[in-house]
């Protein structure tokens, strides 16, 4: 039995070995066949290439005579099929030379254009020429533009120039019938080259040839490049897109115009004929690029346009004629100086160095010249010009403005405004007609101008800024006062104080806004009512009346304390990560949630939150720590790096990207792509960091680019819309100029205060006592001991909020708390009252009921709201503390029963704690803890 089994096993093994041997032989045979096929393919391609190159070398060489165009076309197609960029450079140059030479022939059979006239070859010939032209561009991009390469460069440029215009096609001189269609064909060629990056190639040539100590680009080559650059521009009718490329790729070449004047004067003259004059062209570009809600003119393009506009101005020595054109075509562009300040500050520096403003004012000081300029411009654009003059002078306050500010500056502005007044008076206008700018002019609606109006208005407002008023009026005012002092007699002092701050406060009577807020609907009611209030009104006085959970009005009377509590509670509510408007970083800083779009109208909510935070800063209310680099506008600065700021937002991502940056091996091992996956409501959403990023792997060569793109996505792209809406709301309350005074840590401290624990020693040092209390009183000693030893940090914050409506201390300490924190004994006996005396009664009563110990400057008739007294009749249990009854009893020491059943109360408007005279420390601790944690709103006020 065993022998049979062994024989069977041996048989199976032999059979298996034979099968494997056959399979191996089959694979070996297949491999041999595959290798042979590749070898035969390579040999065949080599033989075909050698045969085509042999035919090419026999037919086309350096001094080839013209042959049948169809024969050359067929050979050129084969050559381009097997063309190798490095090996066939010389042959391609010979082909271009031959084609250029054939264009001089008038014979359709010899000219290379003749192939186009053969119907069956028309479409393939067009694609063939496009292929040749782009290969010319490729060779030009690789060229060093030196003397060794110049011969080849000229041939390639000649080919491009020849096929982008029909001017050199001799065949068409006697055949005008097809001229129009062939002109269109040249436009087609230019469009193809433009779509593949033609202007970038021309820029490379200019940069390589001109940016040297000794220029290597010959005059004829320079002329060719500029000709190629302007042909698409002119054929398109100066379209916005081509103008943009012309500015960003051609006019940004350093000293280009100077090189053209010196080395290619004919081209310089050609530009003056073919292109509109500098000022007209610049004005057209600026109007199209800047008069929009979203600027489309990039910084480099804007700088190029201004350079184009100012060069003839400066080269002429700021002549009156060119200054006239500069005023009527450049300075009339709405808010131009504001855009230059933000996007091209170097241009403003050039204006300052060349004293452009001074010359403009000198020209406008001439009555006839000013009237001429005014007549050229429509009234709206005269106002835009005034806005730009004001803004430019504002930016130059510390330099040339000192020389021209008075009386020249004031005379010019007064004259222009007077002309506007006459213009308005002479126009027939229906007073009910909507006026596009400042409500002055009735005319055709211009949507682009309307979009620019807020910026123009902000420029005009600069005329009334502190710096401008001080600069314009300080010297004249000193002269007037000096002359007045010399001629003045005895001065009788006023019986009333005339402090400027008090006068201003009285003169500026702000309208009070009243809102009604339900405790259960803080955010909803606040958003519904405050979102309708314009920003300038929100900067004024806003009063709040709370409705408690029972639907009844709370007892608190808002003298800023109630509104501050509403503000803090609202901000606390919207900053709650559970609402998904904001998220919290690992450092407990808030930033906009990328998935906030799940809320309806989430961008409007962010604008509202920005307003509320701005109002909090305006009032000095400190809130939670916030992510601020976007708010300060640092993202637009040249030195800003998303990667450097990333740790403040996402520490984990920063560590991961740092790990990728310093990864010792091949980054492809990490299997990363230029995309990021996000889990949104259980669904995986992929965001591409760059077009096609899902299929682009991260390698050692591109990992730095990946790191920066990832950081930019996290810091900017992902929260771009939320941040924009938030900043819009914030800056509608807080002037952006104020923000520029602070660094990020300083503004963070201004908004969020210090994170240090509550300093009870500082609070006690600046506490004021009334009603018999003093610093050594037993109840007062109990209070400070309870706060220090029995209460935790959270309870101390609740206590501070209970008495001041804010849970964080003032930014600079309690010395700056206004009014100072005070503690009043609400129930005292005759023996216990050692504080208030009859001598201080009037002083204390006035301070208690108005929060100010002095009467109004102009008398009590101007006290707003008027002083009022309400009669109350309550029992011990009903008395809530903050009533005139308790005040009078405190002042006149009316005897009361033991206050053990009363709770501490507070008046947050006056930072006042009203404390019963408890007999036991435990009672004080329990009652105080209950009062600060019960969250009863102003029912204990």
The catalytic site residues sit at: 909
Give the distance, in angstroms, between the CA of residue 25 and the centroid of all CA atoms in the same chain. 71
Contact yes or no for 195/232 (Cβ under 8 A)? no
What 8-state DSSP symbol labels residue 511? P
Contact yes or no for 305/285 (Cβ under 8 A)? yes
Give the pair of three-digit tokens for residue 10: 């041996």
What 8-state DSSP symbol labels residue 453? H
Tally Cβ neighbours within 10 Å of residue 519. Answer: 17
Give the pair of three-digit tokens for residue 919: 């007999």
As a whole number of angstroms, the distance between CA 420 and CA 25 comes to 100
Contact yes or no for 618/734 (Cβ under 8 A)? yes
Peptide bond into 819 cis (omega under 30): yes
Unique residue bearing structure tokens 């406060």: 505
State the DSSP H helix or E strand holding residue 583, giving kind and residue range, or none if neither: strand 582-584
Unique residue bearing structure tokens 């130059």: 396
Residue 754 burial by CB count (10 A; 0-12/13-18/19+): exposed, middle or buried? Answer: middle
Angle at 178 between CA 176 and CA 183, to 5 degrees: 100
- For residue 362, which phi and psi values (nearest 5 degrees)? -65, -40
Single out the residue of 188, 189, 280 nearest to residue 243, CA to CA: 280
823 three-state secondary structure:
strand
As a whole number of angstroms, the distance between CA 327 and CA 319 comes to 12
| Alpha-carbon separation of residue 280 from 247, 320, 344 (angstroms) | 15, 17, 20
Beta pairing partners, 680 = 683
As a whole number of angstroms, the distance between CA 941 and CA 919 comes to 22
As a whole number of angstroms, the distance between CA 442 and CA 380 comes to 10
Largest CA distance in the chain: 147
Helices (H), 356-446: 356-364, 367-376, 379-395, 401-404, 410-426
| Alpha-carbon separation of residue 332 from 307, 336, 430 (angstroms) | 17, 8, 26
As a whole number of angstroms, the distance between CA 275 and CA 294 comes to 27
Please enumerate in sequence order all residues whose Cβ is within 8 A of that of 104, keeping only pairs 6 or more positions apart, or say none: 168, 170
What 8-state DSSP symbol labels residue 492? P
Q: Each residue of 350-370: b (16+ CB within 10 Å) or e?
A: bbbeebbbbbbbbbbbeeebb
> Mind giving me the DSSP string for 520-569?
GGHHHHHHHHHTTS-HHHHTS-EEEEEE-TTS-B-S---SSHHHHHHHHH
C-alpha radius of gyration, the chain, whole number: 41
- Cα four-point dihedral sign 493, 495, 499, 504: negative
**Beta strand 675-680 pairing with 683-688:** antiparallel
Contact yes or no for 760/798 (Cβ under 8 A)? no
866 three-state secondary structure:
coil
Single out the residue of 558, 573, 571, 582 nearest to residue 621, CA to CA: 571
As a whole number of angstroms, the distance between CA 680 and CA 677 comes to 10
- For residue 64, which phi and psi values (nearest 5 degrees)? -80, 135
């Amino acid at each position: 039995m065993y022998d049979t089994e062994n024989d069977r096993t041996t048989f199976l093994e032999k059979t298996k070995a034979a099968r494997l041997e056959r399979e191996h032989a089959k694979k070996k045979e297949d491999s041999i066949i595959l290798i042979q096929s590749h070898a035969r393919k390579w040999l065949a391609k080599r033989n075909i290439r050698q045969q085509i190159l042999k035919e090419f070398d026999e037919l086309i060489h350096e001094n080839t005579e013209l042959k049948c165009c169809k024969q050359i076309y067929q050979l050129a197609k084969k050559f381009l099929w097997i063309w190798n960029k490095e090996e066939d450079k010389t042959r391609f140059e010979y082909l271009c030379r031959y084609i250029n030479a054939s264009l001089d022939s008038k014979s359709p059979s010899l000219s290379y254009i003749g192939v186009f006239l053969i119907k069956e070859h028309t479409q393939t010939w067009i694609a063939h020429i496009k292929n040749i032209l782009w290969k010319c561009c490729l060779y030009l991009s690789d060229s060093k533009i030196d003397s060794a390469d110049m011969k080849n460069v000229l041939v390639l440029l000649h080919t491009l120039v020849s096929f982008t215009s029909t001017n050199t096609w001799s065949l068409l001189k006697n055949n005008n019938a097809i001229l129009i269609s062939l002109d269109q064909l040249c436009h087609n060629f230019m469009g193809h080259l433009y779509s593949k990056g033609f202007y970038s190639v021309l820029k490379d040539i200019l940069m390589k040839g001109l940016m040297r100590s000794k220029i290597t680009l010959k005059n004829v080559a320079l002329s060719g490049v500029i000709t190629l650059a302007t042909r698409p521009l002119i054929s398109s009718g100066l379209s916005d897109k081509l103008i943009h490329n012309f500015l960003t790729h051609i006019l940004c070449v350093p000293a280009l115009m100077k090189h053209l004047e010196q080395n290619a004067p004919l081209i310089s003259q050609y530009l003056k004929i073919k292109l509109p004059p500098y000022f007209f062209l610049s004005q057209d570009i600026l109007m199209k690029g800047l008069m929009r809600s979203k600027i489309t003119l990039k910084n480099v393009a804007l700088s190029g346009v201004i350079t184009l506009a100012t060069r003839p101005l400066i080269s002429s020595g700021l002549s009156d004629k060119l200054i006239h054109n500069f005023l009527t075509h450049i300075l009339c562009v709405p808010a131009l100086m504001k855009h230059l300040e933000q996007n091209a500050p170097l241009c403003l520096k050039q204006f300052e160095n060349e004293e452009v403003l001074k010359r403009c004012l000198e020209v406008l000081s001439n009555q006839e010249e000013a009237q001429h300029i005014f007549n050229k411009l429509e009234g709206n654009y005269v106002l835009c010009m005034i806005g730009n003059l004001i803004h430019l002078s504002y930016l130059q306050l510390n330099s040339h403005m000192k020389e021209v500010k008075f009386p020249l500056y004031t005379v010019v502005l007064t004259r222009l405004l007077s002309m506007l007044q006459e213009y308005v008076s002479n126009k027939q206008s229906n007073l009910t007609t909507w006026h596009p700018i400042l409500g002055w002019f009735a005319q055709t609606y211009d949507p682009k101008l309307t979009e620019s109006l807020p910026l123009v208005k902000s420029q005009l407002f600069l005329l009334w800024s502190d710096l401008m008023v001080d600069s314009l009026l300080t010297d004249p005012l000193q002269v007037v006062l000096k002359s007045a002092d010399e001629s003045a007699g005895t001065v009788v002092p006023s019986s009333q104080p005339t402090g400027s701050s008090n006068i201003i406060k009285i003169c500026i009577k702000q309208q009070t806004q009243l809102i009604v807020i339900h405790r259960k609907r803080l955010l909803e009611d606040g958003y519904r009512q405050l979102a309708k209030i314009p920003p300038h009104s929100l900067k004024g006085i806003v009063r709040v009346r709370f409705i408690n959970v029972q639907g009844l009005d709370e007892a608190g009377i808002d003298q800023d304390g109630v509104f501050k509590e509403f503000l803090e509670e609202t901000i606390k509510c919207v900053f709650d990560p559970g609402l998904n408007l904001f998220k919290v970083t690992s450092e407990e800083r808030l930033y906009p949630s990328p998935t906030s779009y799940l809320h309806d109208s989430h961008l409007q909510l962010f604008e509202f939150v920005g307003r509320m935070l701005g109002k909090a800063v305006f009032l000095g209310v400190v809130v939670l720590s916030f992510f601020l680099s976007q708010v300060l506008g640092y993202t637009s600065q040249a030195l800003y790096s998303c990667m450097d700021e990333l740790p403040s937002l996402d520490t984990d991502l920063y560590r991961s990207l740092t790990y990728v940056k310093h990864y010792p091996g091949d980054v492809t091992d990490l299997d990363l792509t230029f995309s990021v996956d996000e889990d949104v409501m259980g669904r995986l959403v992929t965001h591409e960091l760059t077009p096609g990023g899902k299929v682009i792997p991260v390698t050692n060569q591109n990992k730095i680019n990946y790191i920066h793109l990832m950081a930019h996505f996290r810091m900017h792209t992902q929260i771009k819309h939320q941040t924009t809406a938030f900043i819009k709301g914030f800056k509608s309350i807080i002037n952006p100029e104020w923000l520029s005074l602070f660094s990020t840590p300083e503004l963070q401290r201004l908004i969020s205060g210090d994170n240090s624990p509550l300093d009870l020693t500082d609070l006690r040092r600046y506490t004021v006592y009334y009603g018999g209390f003093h610093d050594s009183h037993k109840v007062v000693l109990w209070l400070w001991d309870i706060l220090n030893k029995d209460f935790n940090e959270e309870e101390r914050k609740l206590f501070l909020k209970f008495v001041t409506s804010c849970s964080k201390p003032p930014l600079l300490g309690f010395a700056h708390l206004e009014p100072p924190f005070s503690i009043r004994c609400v129930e005292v006996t005759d023996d216990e009252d050692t504080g208030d005396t009859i001598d201080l009664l009037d002083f204390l009563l006035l301070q208690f009921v108005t929060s100010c110990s002095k009467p109004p400057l102009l008398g009590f008739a101007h006290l707003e709201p008027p002083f009022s007294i309400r009669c109350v009749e309550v029992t011990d249990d009903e008395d809530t503390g903050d009533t005139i009854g308790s005040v009078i009893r405190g002042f006149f020491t009316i005897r009361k029963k033991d206050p053990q059943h009363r709770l501490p109360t507070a008046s947050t408007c006056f930072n006042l704690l009203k404390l019963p005279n408890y007999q036991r420390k435990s009672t004080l601790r329990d009652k105080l803890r209950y009062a600060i944690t019960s969250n009863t709103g102003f029912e204990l006020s």
